[in-house]
């Protein structure tokens, strides 16, 4: 088997050794089968608690479930054309005659499938995705704190606006990613399972055990899940839907960060750069090129995976007690988590060596030092009683540009304005002369935000 | 102005009198301007609390803000090409010279725009959308309880599966809508505002007031919002994004319900029907037609609005301290809420007169009464020790079909099976003969679900 | 390497032996590299035609290009972090010192990447996808012709409308798939390549060859492509975008067909069924179940892949002479073609053994035989001079239903109507008595449509 | 009626006087009704040609159809709850008793609705949308030709690459828009209509006219449409789907252009600017701001409307002979065309006064003049026999940067390279010293592209 005969870039390209191994545990097809077997085992344990079968049988099934691999199940499925029945058959083939009847006993396929997905995605999120995102978050926090006083011109509409610090800009990403992680954790905790049979009415379990709802609860307790208040053949889609939304939301934060960095790496701006290996080639024809390829990659993966939300909404509609038109599509869900951890790990690497050019930041600020003055000037004029300060300063900036003078100079020679400037306090005048100090609470806010998300309990 | 010269079906077609009036309060362009003026007033009140201006001035601005209408603002915008500055100018034109400087004082446009959107959508959701959805929920609860014992064949893959009750089927929609409503309320409560200036660093307010963060908090308190922990020129998009997701999620529940009803109204199934006016025409050429036009309409509106989630994700990416490429698109957000209340009201009307044909439900069940027996038979055989019961019953159903006999009959004549059947308890045998009793906990679950969502505090 | 450690269902699940082999040729990562090497070879051949290098060198490069595999290129890429330069390096390592300078000579990476994608997708569509879709089309044509006279009740809104034939219903799918195939072929033929260098201005080739545009044209001629009239670093996205749209369009036809079949397989309708293997299990708990799993699967894959169109539109936006944010996402394009051929092959198998239950079709028609009469009755009344025939018949159908009589009977006893009925011609009366003959041109149309798409030249 | 009580920004905000008037003719609700009445009239004319009714009756209906307005139809619809029957009733009320029976005679609603949509969208595209896009195209052509020699640094990955001219960059947009327009025209011409009755089998028309297919063809001929080869109750969706795709494709070209311009207007780049009114306000708080609001607006509208393609694909799936779940959603289709003409007109205005700062373009080029040399140097070294030129120049650029020397200088002092440089021809050396001449065929290509799309026949 040559991995380059495969079709998915996730399978042949984007996962490096360590991350691949960690991701396989939750997100490969073997993992799918493994978690389903785990649910089958939990079911027999719960049955034994109700006295339906012995503890010994439960242990026997658990042991059989532990080592099951996709390959065996697929072989059986090839024969009978039903994946979950195939799993049950394989399990049954591994246990004693006494145990056989209790495998999958009272369950319908989706008791297993949906419950297994809930455990699997819960663990994937809490043990794989969130820890990976946290590593990135921590690097961002480190950068934000380190650069909390690094002056940068704030940009709105791509235009120089008012000054901030680069740390403060990073704090925006910190805050958004922090929230997105919290959201993901919250949604993962809410994932629901079910054990209510073929149409959700506990039809089968009602004739087999004393307390079907207790049986369901016991299975969920074994697995660390909550039961759906109502289910049909399937778990109501909303709990998973919320998790998937929160996942795309987190991805969107990464994409926004990547866009910002791409633009800050533009030749004319050049405040930021991906570090570059000494053997690395930037272009096959332009030997001098240094491209933001990792930021581009993350944005690109986001474009690929974001529209999946439409698939998820469509899949949340299932006719009557369920149709199966969400089965194949749902098999691709793990790819979303994989793409997110791949992107997060990539950014983690890039950000660990992010080149921050403070001199370039200062130079860019300097080029707008003049016009930055416009806002505080307008506000101070208003504060000191000008009744149409915004319009006055708008005129002054136009005039200053036209005459090639500074805004402050021009203002100081404008009737109706110069009189008020004379009333300005010393710190106010100082500010107009040193607009680099016009950064408000950027430093304090950066500290506050980083502090908040650092302390945030797991 | 002829409303049929308009382009949006929401404007010329889908909103009836009462609902239109209620929706205009929150979701029209006048509402947008009204809420923005409200935020401007809250800002001046907060400024007065910090002693920046007098309470009298705050009251004056508040009064001016109260009656502002979009028309005036648009007229000013036509002149200066900036909508929020236009609003500020109109406000300023309505107050005394002393008050003028304090209008919009220290604020940037998006302090107003984003904060106003947060209040507006919060109130629209809590006062318009959720109450409308609750009315629908209550009708569904009523139907579910009324039909909790109405036998219906459960359907999976469009195939008859095991019996449920129609009330139990309704309880699924009740549960999902109940959760979706809770989600919307939760998200609406979390909506964030901001008052941190042009690049989020409190640059302006820092030079104008003693405690800029207090100023921000005061504005939010006035409006019943929380401040974003960090903002740029704009509020971090996630709080609104979550609300929009929860809105589409609720819409999806309505769409799923509509699909189910459409299919139950199929000529061959005919368990459900929209009631039909005596003058109503079903088809322009087939005078006998009775079509599920309202269910179709809701599904269709869902198809139109669901993909908007992609717009919202794209809009959550904004370069640096913000670009403006989410401005025009965000103006269409109210349409989503409008479409949802329109759909909800429509379903409310249809469900108030929903035709439930219990005889048809029974007849459909009867046609599968035979095969329904397969599941309990397999389970009881397993329970009584058959080691390959599923396969045995699969063979029996094939044979029964082939020979034109009942499953139970066939089973009773099958070696290895008939012996076990003789061990069945009386209730077990009874069940196989009266499969209509094979409904598990459908009745109890219906009651539990309806109870839960009825008691759920506002 | 265990294939069940993979993440993509396309890689571990959905491709069976024969189809996998055929798909790998065009759509695997090895294929990507193979086609890129082919373009590199075509470039050197074109260079030799301009006398830049010898024919011998061109042959040498061609030979080296022929056997290149992804594995070698990835190994080199791991070192230098640039995939196309890696390819060039590997090629260079396989040729003589004299040949080395002419490998990739004058080209930029995307001259190779975009041109290779164009050839690859063109051949994949024309040699793999379209032939597969044609096989399906031919089966549909066979069914349509076989069933051209099989009476079926037409359904609109899920309600019985007027009669058609099942062949006529199939002809709808035939026509739509036929057109979609034509569209795909048309778009594949239009795919454009480029050889205009790093920013599209032929900067490099202008200083290296006499006629850069001739060089580009020669490369494209070698590969059977057309040159873009204008390119930047990349080919204008529209030619590929059109192909991708046509691909999703074809997929949509398959999804619609699958939906129709799913519903015709509903227990209450049962006109159609997937054939079922003798060992096949329908449900893990309901041994009697026969589910439309293949139709469900196709619909589900459509839901997964359709929203990709949004990715493609986003990718069509590339800043200035290109950004790279479409690189990773574009690597997933082959998956769309794979999913479509998988779905098509699946339907091909199912349709080859499609169970058509003519008796059930007749029975369903019979249940509406009465109301079918309403349309021709209304029309004939209008034809014979009734001035409000639609309303009259609408009243008659309501009355007939209420009284439990037939529509014709009721009409024959209604004042203002019965007089006109007496004027009806014998064939007109016959029609009202035998509504199964009310099928218009269904048979002729079926033949016409099938004929058209059968004759359609390859 | 206060237009600011409306919900759609298209209705209350984005359409200015002249464009609104032009758009109403095709895209308002009155237009919808008008076109449907037109089809009803065409049907009666076609009936008269078959001798079913007199020419006088046809003329009478045509006259009645001409002046019909949505208001009357909606009033009747309020009574009978069916929009097309309402139209027929209103028409009938306006004609003589003899004419009444022939209104809508033999037709089903969607014979009218789908056919009317086809004519309407065809005319909207050919008479409104395409002419508007052409005006924009012509302005772009003018700019491209005017700036064909204006040196600009080409940018890939946001990084300076090799030089082009600004006209050449514009030619890329010209070419893409030209093709998109052609595509739209082609798709509009292919739009199909139908007149085959309630289930597509000509059931009704077969009993009313001699040649039903001729009747259908006559109706289409009257309207300038082609008949679908096969239809059900509805026209096969693909012809409209293709048009909608081509519309979004054209929109995407506008969005890409807008993105490019936004970035070229960045403070640090400043090569381009929207012109600015003398009273115009850039920011409510920063009086100096000049934002690319129009480019932002177009991008934003694209983000709003692009995802609609998903709606259209979903709507292309309709169960059996049709379900109605595409009815409400299809009513919003005109909005897409409106949004595109709004965006196009906006860009037309901005581009008519686009500020092109040639000095800034030159300055930006100059900042990279050094590294631009890398590509031709590498190529010329290869040409003159260097066997590893790319790697050599990569090393030279790193060294040059490190030592603060020029690339050419550094190369001239590098062993193994300097020897080859001495072999360079005079023009080759000239190029390395004057990299501004390294623009390949940019001027010629610009002329070729503009010429091609100017001459392109309507």
Interface of B with D in 22-51 (CB under 8 A): 23-24, 27-30, 33
Scanning A151-180 for CB atoms below 8 A from D yields 153, 155-162
Distance from CA of B222 to the nearest CA of D (A): 23
Interface test with C, best of D43, D53, D229 (most C CBs within 10 A): D229
Q: Which residues pair with C156 in a beta bridge?
A: C159
In contact, D15 and D23? CB cutoff 8 Å: yes
Q: What is the mean pLDDT of chain C?
A: 94
CB C141 within 8 A of CB D205: no
Give the least confident one: B67-81, B276-290, C78-92, D336-350: B276-290
CB A310 within 8 A of CB B310: yes
Strand ranges for B181-311 from DSSP E: 192-193, 226-227, 272-273
CB of B322 within 8 Å of a chain C CB? The answer is no
Percentage of chain C modeled with pLDDT above 90: 87
B162, C286: Cβ pair inside 8 Å?
Answer: yes
Separation of alpha carbons C242 and C17, rounded Å = 30
Which residues 238-277 in chain C show a CB within 8 A of chain A?
262, 277
User: Chain C contact for B286, CB < 8 A?
Assistant: yes
Q: Does residue A334 belong to the interface with chain B, where contact is any CB pair within 8 Å?
A: no
| D286 in contact with A, Cβ within 8 Å | yes
Report which of D304, D319, D174, D309 is spatially closest to residue D249, judged by C-alpha positions: D309
Partner residues linked to A192 by β-bridges: A226
The Cα angle at residue A400 between residues A395 and A405, in degrees rounded to 5: 160
User: What pLDDT is stored for residue B287 in this prediction?
Assistant: 66
Residues paired with C193 in a beta bridge:
C227
Q: Between residues B119 and D373, which one has the greater pLDDT?
A: B119
Name beta bridge partners: A152: A164
User: C419 CB near a chain D CB, below 8 Å?
Assistant: no
d(CA A446, CA A145): 7
CA distance A334 to A342: 12
Those chains having 3 or more beta-carbon pairs within 8 angstroms of chain C are A, B, D
- Return d(Cα C179, Cα C182) in angstroms, integer: 5
The DSSP bridge partners found for residue A272 are A356
Asked whether residue A280 carries a pLDDT value surpassing 80, the answer given is no
Report residue C207: phi and psi, to 5°: -95, 0
What mean pLDDT is reported for chain B?
A: 94
- What is the average per-residue pLDDT within C384-408? 89
Indicate whether A246 pLDDT > 80: yes
* C32-36, C231-235, D23-27, D365-369: the lowest-pLDDT one: D365-369
Least confident of A166-175, A401-410, D282-291: D282-291
Residues whose CB falls within 8 Å of the CB of residue D427, separated by 6 or more in sequence, listed in order: none
pLDDT at A288: 66
Residue D2 burial (C-beta neighbours within 10 Å; 0-12, 13-18, 19+): middle
Q: What is the mean pLDDT of residues C67-79?
A: 94
How far is the C-alpha of D425 from the C-alpha of D430, rounded, in Å?
A: 9
From A17-31, B361-375, C24-38, D25-39, the region with the lowest mean pLDDT: B361-375
Q: Distance (Å) from the C-alpha of residue D449 to the closest C-alpha of chain B? A: 30
Q: With cut-offs at 50, 70 and 90, classify the pLDDT of residue B280.
A: confident
Across the interface, which of D161, D284, D310 has its CB nearest the CB of A310? Answer: D310
Are C429 and C154 in contact by the 8 Å Cβ rule? The answer is: no
Average per-residue pLDDT for chain A: 94
CATH 3.10.105.10 corresponds to the domain C109-194+229-362: no
pLDDT of residue A457: 60
Beta carbons of A206 and B236 less than 8 Å apart: no
Calculate mean pLDDT across residues C345-368. Answer: 96
Q: What is the rounded distance in angstroms from the CA atom of residue D262 to the CA atom of residue A25?
A: 45
Residue B288: active-site member: no
- For chain D, which chains pass the contact test of at least 3 CB pairs under 8 Å? A, B, C
The whole-angstrom separation of Cα C228 and Cα D232 is: 40
SS3 at position C328:
helix
- Mean pLDDT calculated for residue range A328-339: 98
In the structure, how many helices (H) and strands (E) does chain C have? 23, 6
pLDDT tens digit string along A56-114? 999 999 999 998 999 999 999 999 889 999 999 999 999 999 999 899 999 999 999 99
Residue A277 has a pLDDT of: 72
Residue A165, SS3 per DSSP: strand
Q: With 60 as the cut, is the pLDDT of residue B458 above it? A: no
- The per-residue pLDDT for C288 is 66
| Residue among D112, D285, D293 whose CB faces B204 most closely | D285
- Cα(B48)–Cα(B66) distance, rounded to whole angstroms? 18
Q: pLDDT tens across A220-237, in order?
A: 999 999 999 999 999 999
Mean pLDDT of A178-203: 97
What pLDDT is recorded for position D121? Answer: 98
Angstrom distance (rounded) from CA D381 to CA D376: 8
Any A CB within 8 A of D287 CB = yes
Q: Compute the distance between CA of residue D282 and CA of residue A161 in angstroms, rounded to an integer.
A: 11
Does residue B200 contact residue D285 with C-beta atoms inside 8 Å? no
- Pairing relationship of beta strands C192-193 and C226-227 according to DSSP bridges: parallel
DSSP characters over D261-327: HHHHTSTTT-SEE----TT--S-SS-TT----HHHHHHHHHHHHHTTHHHHHHHHT---TT--STTH
Answer yes or no: is pLDDT of A276 > 80. no
Contacts of residue B51, defined as CB under 8 A and 6 or more positions apart, other chains included, come to none
**D5 close contact with B: CB closer than 8 A:** yes
Nearest CB partner across the interface for B161, out of A198, A313, A445: A198
Per residue in A38-52, pLDDT tens?
Answer: 999 999 999 999 999
Per-residue pLDDT, averaged over A436-445, amounts to: 97
Tell if the CB–CB gap between A322 and B157 is shorter than 8 Å: yes
Residues B191-223 as b or e (16 or more Cβ within 10 Å = b):
bbbbbbbbbbbbbbbbbbbeebbebbbbbbebb
Q: Give the number of other Cβ atoms within 10 Å of residue B354's Cβ.
A: 18
Facing residue for C201 by CB, picked from D249, D263, D445: D445
The reported pLDDT for the residue numbered C173 is 98
d(CA B325, CA B322): 9
What's the N-to-C CA distance of chain A in angstroms?
A: 41
User: Where residue C457 falls among pLDDT bands split at 50, 70, 90?
Assistant: low
Average pLDDT score, chain D: 94
pLDDT at A458 over 60: no
Pick from C196, C48, C212, C44: nearest CA to C108: C196
What pLDDT score was predicted for residue A370?
Answer: 82
Q: Judge whether C310 is closer than 8 Å to chain B, CB to CB.
A: yes
Side-chain-facing half-sphere of B392: CA atoms under 13 Å: 25
Radius of gyration of chain C (CA): 30
Active site (annotated) includes residue C246: no
What is the interface pTM, i.e. ipTM, of the complex? 0.95
Q: Do D367 and A394 touch (CB under 8 A)?
A: no
Please tell me the predicted confidence (pLDDT) of residue C236.
98
Asked whether the beta carbons of B148 and B168 are under 8 A apart, the reply is yes
Find, in chain A, the residue whose alpha carbon is nearest to that of D286: A375
Neighboring chain D residues of A397 at a CB cutoff of 8 Å: 287-288
Q: What is the mean pLDDT of residues D201-213?
A: 94
Alpha-carbon gap: D211 to the closest alpha carbon of chain B (Å):
19
DSSP letter (8 states) at residue B156 = E
> Using an 8 Å Cβ cutoff, are C305 and C339 in contact?
yes
Q: How far apart are the first and last CA of chain C?
A: 41
Task: Give the burial string for C9-19 (b: 16+ CB within 10 Å, else e).
Answer: bbbbbbbeeeb
Lowest pLDDT segment from B371-385, B429-443, D341-355: B371-385
pLDDT recorded at residue D188: 98
- Average pLDDT of A443-451? 98
Q: pLDDT tens digits, residue range D237-250? A: 999 999 999 999 99
Q: Is C226 helix (H, G, I), strand (E, B) or coil?
A: strand
Residues in D closer than 8 angstroms to C204, CB to CB, are: 162, 375-376, 379, 440
pLDDT of residue B320: 98
Strand ranges (DSSP E) for B40-165? Answer: 151-156, 159-165
Asked which of A91-105, B75-89, C215-229, C374-388 is least confident by mean pLDDT, the reply is: C374-388
**CA-wise closest residue to C268 among B273, A319, B262, B363:** B363
Q: Are C201 and D171 in contact (CB under 8 A)?
A: no
Q: Tell me if chain C has a CB within 8 Å of the CB of D395.
A: no
CA-to-CA distance for C287 and C299, rounded, in angstroms?
Answer: 24
| Rounded distance between C-alpha atoms, residue D311 and residue B307, angstroms | 7
Is the Cα dihedral B174, B177, B179, B185 positive or negative? negative
pLDDT recorded at residue D171: 98
**Residue A293 to residue C324, Cβ atoms within 8 A:** yes
For A164, the closest chain B residue by CA position comes to B201
Of C93, C96, C283, C437, which residue is the catalytic one?
C283
């Amino acid at each position: 088997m040559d991995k380059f005969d495969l079709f998915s870039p996730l399978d042949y390209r984007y996962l490096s050794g360590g991350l691949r191994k960690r991701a396989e545990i939750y997100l490969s097809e073997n993992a799918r089968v493994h978690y389903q077997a785990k649910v089958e085992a939990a079911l027999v344990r719960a049955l034994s608690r109700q006295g339906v079968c012995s503890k010994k049988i439960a242990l026997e099934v658990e042991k059989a479930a532990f080592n099951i691999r996709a390959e065996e199940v697929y072989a059986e499925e090839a024969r009978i054309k039903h994946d979950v029945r195939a799993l049950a058959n394989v399990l049954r083939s591994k246990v004693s005659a006494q145990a056989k009847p209790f495998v999958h006993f009272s369950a319908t396929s989706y008791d297993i499938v949906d419950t297994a997905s809930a455990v699997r995605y819960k663990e994937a999120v809490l043990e794989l995705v969130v820890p990976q995102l946290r590593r990135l978050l921590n690097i961002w926090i480190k950068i934000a704190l380190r650069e909390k006083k690094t002056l940068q011109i704030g940009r709105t509409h791509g235009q120089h606006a008012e000054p901030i610090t680069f740390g403060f800009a990073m704090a925006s990403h910190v805050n958004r990613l922090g929230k997105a992680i919290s959201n993901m954790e919250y949604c993962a905790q809410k994932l629901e399972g079910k054990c209510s049979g073929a149409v959700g009415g506990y039809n089968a379990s009602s004739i087999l055990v004393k307390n079907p709802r207790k049986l369901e609860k016991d299975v969920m307790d074994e697995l660390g899940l909550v039961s759906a208040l109502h289910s049909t053949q399937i778990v109501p889609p909303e709990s998973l839907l919320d998790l998937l939304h929160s996942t795309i939301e987190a991805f969107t934060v990464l994409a926004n960060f990547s866009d910002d960095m791409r633009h800050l790496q533009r030749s004319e701006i050049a405040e930021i750069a991906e570090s570059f290996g000494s053997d690395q080639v930037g272009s096959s024809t332009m030997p001098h090129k240094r491209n933001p390829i990792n930021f581009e990659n993350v944005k690109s993966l986001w474009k690929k995976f974001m529209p999946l939300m439409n698939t998820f909404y469509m899949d949340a509609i299932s006719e009557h007690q369920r149709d199966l038109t969400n089965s194949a599509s749902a098999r691709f869900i793990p790819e979303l988590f994989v793409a997110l951890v791949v992107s997060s790990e990539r950014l983690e690497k890039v950000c660990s060596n992010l080149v921050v050019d403070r001199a370039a930041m200062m130079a860019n600020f300097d080029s707008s030092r003049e016009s930055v003055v416009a806002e505080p000037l307008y506000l101070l004029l208003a504060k000191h009683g000008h009744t149409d300060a915004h319009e006055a300063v708008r005129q002054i900036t136009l005039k200053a540009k036209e005459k090639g003078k500074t805004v402050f100079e021009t203002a100081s020679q404008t009737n109706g304005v110069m009189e008020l400037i004379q009333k300005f306090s010393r710190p106010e005048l100082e500010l107009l002369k040193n607009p680099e100090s016009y950064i408000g609470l950027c430093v304090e806010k950066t500290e506050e935000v980083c502090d908040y998300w650092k302390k945030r309990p797991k």
